[in-house]
Structure 1
Amino acid sequence: MPKTTKYVAKVPDADGVIHYTAQENAVWRDLVAQQQPNVERLAAAPFLTGQRCLNLPVDRVPQCVEVSEVLEDLTGWRVAPVPALIGFGRFFKMLSEKTFPAASFIRDRESFDYIEEPDIFHEIYGHTPLLTDPRFAKFSQRIGETGLASDPADYSWLIRLYWFTVEFGLIREGEQIKALGSGLASSPGELSHSIFGPSVIRKPFDVIDILRTPYRIDINQPIYFVLDDVEQLLEASERDLLVDIKKAQALGLHKPVFPPKPEAA
C-alpha cells in the first residue's frame, strides 16, 4: 500500500450512509459497465456466486451498511468505512473481528483504469463477493488472527499470503485457470493479463514459496499462484503460519523478477 494518497476519506452520517456525488456514482456505474463482462468471462465460480448473493447496485456506489446486512446473514462479516490508508496492525485486527475495512472514497476519472491505493470500487466490487463464502471468510479471519499474534517485523511476510490469494490469486476450474483475487476482479487491465499474459509466471500454490515471494503494488504482477481447489486455501488456514513465517525468513526472499520501484523525484 502506498504511504500517501491524494484522496480524502468520505465520512458516513449518523445512519452510516456516505453521500456520494452524482459524479462519483457515475464513476462506479462506468467501472461496473466496463469490468462486469470481463469478470463474467474470466472470474472463478466462487466470485461470481458471491456477486449474485450480494446483488450490488450498478448505477451508484453501494453503502457499507447495506452490504453488511447481506454478509452478516451469510458469514457474520460486515464492512466498515476507513480512511484511504490504514496500517497492517489495524488491518489484521479488523479481519480478526470479521470486519472488512473499506476505503470510502472512489477514484477520479484520471485514475479510472488504474489506481495504486484501494478505493471503494476495489473494496466492495472486488472483495466482498468472496466474503459471502464461509471458506474465504474463514481464511481472511485466520490471516487477521495470525497478524495479531505476529511481531510487526513479520507483517510484511504474512501479508504476502493474503496478497497472492485473496488479492491476486488464481484457481483451476477444469482445464481453465480463472481469476479469484479481488485485485484482479477490480482491475480492467490486470484481470486479462493474469490469465493470458505471455510473460506471466504461474506457479502452483505453496505457502512457503508465497511467503518468500516479493511483490510490487504499482505494476501488473509478474508472478501469480494457482490454487488447484479452494480446499488448499482452507488447509493453509489450518497451518501454524507463525512457524511458516520463521521458516520462510530462514530461507530468505526470492530474488525479485521485477525492477525496483523508481524513487520519487
Structure 2
Amino acid sequence: MSAYQSKVADSDGWRHYSAAEDEIWSTLLETQLAMLAGRACDEFIHCLTALDLPPERVPQLAEVNEKLAAESGWQLTAVDGMTSFDDFFTMLGDCCFPAATFIRTREDLEFVSQPDIFHEVFGHGPLLMHPSYAAFSQTIGKTGVGQTAAFQKALAAVYWYTCETGALQDASGQNRLYGASTISSPKEILHASSGQQAELRPFSIPDMVLNSYRIDELTKTYYQAPSLAYLATVSQLELASGIDEALSSAKKVGSSLLENV
C-alpha cells in the first residue's frame, strides 16, 4: 500500500497544499527547468512554456485543464491511487488523463516510484497540448478498451516505453527525451541522457512488449521514435499487430520469459 494519500477537493473543488508541499513543487520545477536544454525535445519545451505553470505553488488541476481544453481538448482527471487497466485505457480513449493529486516528499525528490502531481502536470501536461502526442495517447486508450488482461498488460508496456520513458530523434539527428517519467525526475533525466548507463533502441512495439521493466527502478532501455510527429501515425491496427506478434512469440519460447504479460 502506498504511503502517499490523495488530496481530497473541498466543496469548491480546491485541493489544499501546505507551504512545505508548495516548496517541493518549486524546487522540482526549478531543478527540472535547468535540465531540459539539450535533453528534452523542443516540442516539450515549447508546450511547457505555453502551459505556464506557477513557480511558487502546486497548481490546481482546473487551472491546467483550462489551458489543455483550449489546445487539445484533453483533461486531467483526479484519481485516488493507481487505476485498473480497464479504467486507464477507457479514460485515455476519452481524452481524460488520470492524475494523482499528492506531491512527493523531499526523501523522494529525485525519483519517486509512483506518479505524483508533479509527474502528471509537468511530465504529461505539456505534451497533452501537442496534437501528435495527444493523438497517440488517445490511440493507446482506444486500442486497450475491452481487450484481454494479457493484451492490456502488453499495451501498458508500450505506454511505458513511449509516453513514460520515450525518446525521439530531433531534426538534427540528436536524441531527445519526451517521456513523462524521465522528464519529471531529476535522477532519471540524468540517467537517460548520460549515454552510458542506459541502452537506446529503435522504436519497436514487439520489442517493447518483450522487454521487462519496473516502474520503481531507473529505466534500462529507451526506445527512440523517428520524431514526435511519428507517434501520430501509429494506428490501433499497428499497435494490436505488434502486441499480437509479441504474445505469439512469447508463447513459442515459453510464457515464463515474458514478464510484462
Q: CA deviation at 1:63?
A: 0.7
TM-score by length of 1: 0.90
Which residue number in structure 2 is paired with residue 13 of structure 1? 10
- Equivalent of 1:127, from 124, 129, 133? 124
Which residue number in structure 1 is paired with residue 208 of structure 2? 210
Which residue number in structure 1 is paired with residue 30 of structure 2? 33
For 1:31 and 1:180, the matched residues in 2 are separated by 17
Q: Match of 1:23, SS?
A: helix
TM-score by length of 2: 0.92
Which residue number in structure 2 is paired with residue 184 of structure 1? 182
Which residue number in structure 1 is paired with residue 225 of structure 2? 227
**Residue type at the aligned position of 1:120:** I
Task: Give aligned-pair identity as a percent.
Answer: 36
For 2:12 and 2:39, the matched residues in 1 are separated by 37
- 4+ runs deviating over 4 angstroms: none
Q: Match of 1:178, SS?
A: strand
Q: CA deviation at 1:238?
A: 4.7
Number of aligned residue pairs: give it: 253
For 1:235 and 1:133, the matched residues in 2 are separated by 14
1:137 and 2:127 are equivalent in the alignment: no
The answer to whether the 8 A contact 2:132-2:230 is kept is no
1:172 and 2:169 are equivalent in the alignment: yes
1:152 and 2:149 are equivalent in the alignment: yes
The answer to whether the 8 A contact 1:207-1:236 is kept is no
For 1:15 and 1:42, the matched residues in 2 are separated by 39
Q: CA deviation at 1:231?
A: 3.3
Deviation string, structure 1 residues 134-192 (Cα, Å, up to 9, x no partner): 11111111111111131122211001111111110111111311111111110101112
1:92 and 2:92 are equivalent in the alignment: no
Q: CA deviation at 1:199?
A: 3.4
1:194 and 2:200 are equivalent in the alignment: no
Which residue number in structure 2 is paired with residue 263 of structure 1? none
Pairwise CA RMSD of aligned residues?
1.8
For 2:17 and 2:194, the matched residues in 1 are separated by 36
Deviation string, structure 1 residues 27-75 (Cα, Å, up to 9, x no partner): 1011111111102331101111110110011110011001000001111
User: Gapped runs of 5+ residues in structure 1?
Assistant: 261-265
The answer to whether the 8 A contact 1:84-1:117 is kept is no
Which residue number in structure 2 is paired with residue 247 of structure 1? 245
Q: CA deviation at 1:116?
A: 0.3
For 1:150 and 1:240, the matched residues in 2 are separated by 15
Q: Match of 1:80, SS?
A: strand
